[in-house]
Amino acid sequence: MRTVTKLMKNWQFTGPDGKTAAVELPHTWNHIDGQDGGNDYKRGSCTYQTTFAKPAFDANTQQVWLQFEGVNASAAVTLNGTEVIRHDGGYSTFRADITALLAEQNTLTVIADNSKNDRVYPQKADFTFYGGIYRDVSLLVVSKNHIALNYLGSCGVRITPTVKGSSADIRVQTRVEGEGEVEITVNDAAGSTVLTGTGADTTLTMQHPHLWDGVRDPYLYTCTVRLVRSGAVQDEVTQRFGVRSFSVDPKQGFFLNGRAYPLHGVSRHQDRKGLGNAITREMHDEDMQLIQELGANTVRLAHYQHDQYFYDLCDAAGMVVWAEIPYISEHMPGGRANTISQMQELIEQNYNHACIVCWGVSNEITISTKDKRDMLDNHRVLNDLCHKMDDTRLTTLACYAMCGPFNPVAHITDLVSWNLYLGWYVPGLFLNDLWMDFFHLCYPNRPLGFSEYGAEGMPNLHSEHPRRGDHTEEYQALYHEYMLRCFERHPWLWSTHVWNMFDFAADARDQGGEPGMNHKGLVTFDRKTKKDSFYLYKAWWSEDPFVHICSKRFAERTRSEIEVKVYSNQKSVALFVNGEKLAEQTGEHVFTFKVKLNGETKVQAVAGDHIDEAVFTKVSTPNPDYKLTKGKTKSANWV
């Protein structure tokens, strides 16, 4: 049986400046300067080194493998002076058999390189390219007869459920290295065995399966695959999976298990303030809890392969997932092989996740592509590759505003979505309606989604007259109010994904008074502040009762009468001013009240058993801290 030992402590790190320091993993080496603005933040090559004792194992019957779950962006790994593996791609798992190189004491050296080049993606994008060993490193001791470890970083087991009326076929494919017979056990969520079988490629029939049904009922089975030789278990792999069916209709949207299931959700970047990509499981948990609180039922995991743990969380929460590779912003002819290897790893490593329904081929690839013919050919190759490796899921990509609806790149994959910021980078929120209607008129049989939309919003910036480009919390909320109503007018969209769930580092930006940041998140970079827009989506999507007073941070006002806006998912909201009931309204999502200010005024919003409070103060002069710093009013995109 395999054993796993983490190698997370006692590393020596040498950065591009030549200085060496002791670190623990996970570690991102440019997590500070990668968040402070400017295009000259440190990218380059750095070295991690540690020593470890030879693990206990029987050289006659066992092997030792080294496993990395994420090194950004390229890694060269040596053990005791001998190179054991090179890997290009900063977001996926890779392994090497190190059995023959082990000594009693071992020196492991990893050169992590996120330098600029023309062959490894990503190289140009609106997010920071952190460097380092930012996910787990492990030693695996396994039998020489084991479930494969050397195939694209996968677990070696593929589980393919196919719903057939009141039953489902569960195909289990196992890659084996060495000798032995494969034994399969499938348990339900309570731990009771429901299926057993044998064989490296076998299909089992499950009667009346309990379906994985999104956020309503994310039911998961557990499949345990054992490799047995002469009656002894040599190796074992356990994988959770869900049984579900899905489809997309260009005129009716997304269907899950034969029923309409409108997809409304968010996009997510994985980085954190002060940490970069080197985040903990507890931080992954917090992200999922916030997404669930919002009421989302889908997540676009942008723009790269995320931690396996987060895909597990999506399975358990019932989130429908768009998974993609970082083939983004610019087609590099020298990077075609890397797009293929990253897609192969994405699919093979994530194949068993019930949450994933589509593979994202690229994002905004036409921004600065010169060789359009080569780019289109690469997209066709990737699309065919996805279908060949996984004929159970759909393919998609995200186009950007300047990529018109007639562009051939938009018609290669099964689905398509657009990143449109109409009403933010360009004036005219109404253009969103016109754009959707025009595309649907031209291509009524082409499924269309909105993969990105949003507006910068800083919780410290406020205005009585919010306008496009001011970065205020109020304009961000108005923008999203319009978009939610717009999507209600276009129910045939196959999915909508807010950009973004969380603020994230984007080093090329200098906007909103805080350089190196994209502030389109519904929650701040440190996850401590939920912006008003967060509660707007909660009012639309969540069934958990709540009430929220908007613009509470806009506490000092110069006007004698203000509009107090309230978000709630309840049908009736009452407003109290200094303890006296002002009014009660019935409606949906958004409630507005006129309140007179005289000195310090306490406001309470009451919806059923739920209460929220705010204090507004009449002042004679505007608070200058509420206004975007002069000279930082640029709201153009990062390119």
| Residue boundaries of the structural domains of the chain | 3-143, 157-241, 246-544, 556-625
Residue found under tokens 């009922």: 217
Tens digits of per-residue pLDDT, 293-352? 999 999 999 999 999 999 999 999 999 999 999 999 999 999 999 999 999 999 999 999
Give the whole-angstrom CA distance, residue 350 versus residue 240.
11
Mean pLDDT across the stretch 471-498? 98
Amino acid at 631: G
- pLDDT grade for 1, boundaries at 50, 70 and 90: confident
Instruction: Specify the CATH class of 3-143 in words.
Output: mainly beta
3-state secondary structure labels for all residues of 45-103 = EEEEEEEEECCCCCCCCEEEEEEECCEECEEEEEECCEEEEEEECCCCCEEEECHHHCC
Give the whole-angstrom CA distance, residue 212 versus residue 546.
28
Q: What are phi and psi of 20, to 5 degrees?
A: -115, 140
What whole-number percentage of the chain has pLDDT above 70?
Answer: 97
Tens digits of per-residue pLDDT, 153-201? 999 999 999 999 999 999 999 999 999 999 999 999 999 999 999 999 9
Using the predicted structure, report yes or no on whether residue 425 has a pLDDT greater than 60. Answer: yes
Higher local confidence (pLDDT), 605 or 35: 605
Instruction: Specify the CATH class of 157-241 in words.
Output: mainly beta
Using the predicted structure, report yes or no on whether residue 596 has a pLDDT greater than 50. Answer: yes
CATH of 556-625 among 3.40.50.720, 3.40.50.11540, 3.40.50.1110, 2.60.40.10: 2.60.40.10
Q: Parallel, antiparallel, or unpaired: how do β-strands 74-79 and 193-198 relate? A: unpaired
Mean pLDDT across the stretch 28-34? 82
Tokens of 141: 């001791």
DSSP element (H, E) containing 158: strand 157-164
CB contact set of 635 (below 8 Å; sequence gap of 6+): 424, 425, 456, 468, 469, 471, 511
pLDDT at position 634 is 46
CB contact set of 186 (below 8 Å; sequence gap of 6+): 170, 193, 194, 195, 196, 204, 206, 221, 222, 223, 224
CB contact set of 94 (below 8 Å; sequence gap of 6+): 67, 68, 75, 85, 87, 153, 345
Contacts 24+ apart (CB under 8 A), 185-194: 185/223, 185/224, 185/226, 186/221, 186/222, 186/223, 186/224, 187/221, 187/222, 187/224, 188/221, 189/219, 189/220, 189/221, 189/222, 191/222, 194/221
Max CA-CA distance within the chain? 87
Tens digits of per-residue pLDDT, 528-579? 999 999 999 999 999 999 999 999 999 999 999 999 999 999 999 999 999 9
Amino acid at 232: A
- pLDDT grade for 633, boundaries at 50, 70 and 90: very low
What whole-number percentage of the chain has pLDDT above 90?
Answer: 92
CB contact set of 529 (below 8 Å; sequence gap of 6+): 459, 523
- The angle subtended at Cα 289 by Cα 285 and Cα 291, nearest 5°, is 115
pLDDT at position 531 is 98
Using the predicted structure, report yes or no on whether residue 632 has a pLDDT greater than 50. Answer: no
Using the predicted structure, report yes or no on whether residue 439 has a pLDDT greater than 90. Answer: yes
Residue found under tokens 């200085």: 19
pLDDT at position 637 is 47
Q: What are phi and psi of 184, to 5 degrees?
A: -125, 135
Catalytic residue annotation: 364
Q: How many CB atoms lie within 10 A of CB 15?
A: 17
Using the predicted structure, report yes or no on whether residue 424 has a pLDDT greater than 90. Answer: yes
Mean pLDDT across the stretch 357-374? 93
pLDDT at position 370 is 82
Give the whole-angstrom CA distance, residue 256 versus residue 556.
48
Give the whole-angstrom CA distance, residue 77 versus residue 131.
15
Q: Quick one: DSSP state of residue 411?
A: G
Give the whole-angstrom CA distance, residue 130 versus residue 34.
7
Give the whole-angstrom CA distance, residue 577 versus residue 583.
9
Same fold for the pair 157-241 and 246-544: no
Q: Quick one: DSSP state of residue 212?
A: B
Amino acid at 389: M
- pLDDT grade for 37, boundaries at 50, 70 and 90: low
- Strand order, beta sheet including 572-577: 556-557, 610-618, 600-607, 572-577, 580-586
Q: How many CB atoms lie within 10 A of CB 324?
A: 27
Residue 297's Cβ-count burial label (10 Å; 0-12, 13-18, 19+) is buried
Tokens of 82: 């001998």
The model's pTM:
0.96
Q: Is 522 left (phi over 0), alpha (psi -120 to 50) or beta?
A: alpha
CB contact set of 509 (below 8 Å; sequence gap of 6+): 37, 126, 515, 516, 517, 518, 638
Q: How many CB atoms lie within 10 A of CB 491?
A: 11
- Work out the mean pLDDT of the chain and round it to a whole number: 95
Give the whole-angstrom CA distance, residue 565 versus residue 320.
32
CB contact set of 79 (below 8 Å; sequence gap of 6+): 66, 98, 101, 102, 106, 107, 108, 109
Residue 278's Cβ-count burial label (10 Å; 0-12, 13-18, 19+) is buried
Q: What are phi and psi of 473, to 5 degrees?
A: -65, -30
CB contact set of 434 (below 8 Å; sequence gap of 6+): none
Give the whole-angstrom CA distance, residue 91 versus residue 96.
17
Using the predicted structure, report yes or no on whether residue 638 has a pLDDT greater than 80. Answer: no
Using the predicted structure, report yes or no on whether residue 117 has a pLDDT greater than 90. Answer: yes
540, 486 Cβ separation under 8 angstroms: no
Q: What is the CATH number of domain 246-544?
A: 3.20.20.80
419, 410 Cβ separation under 8 angstroms: no
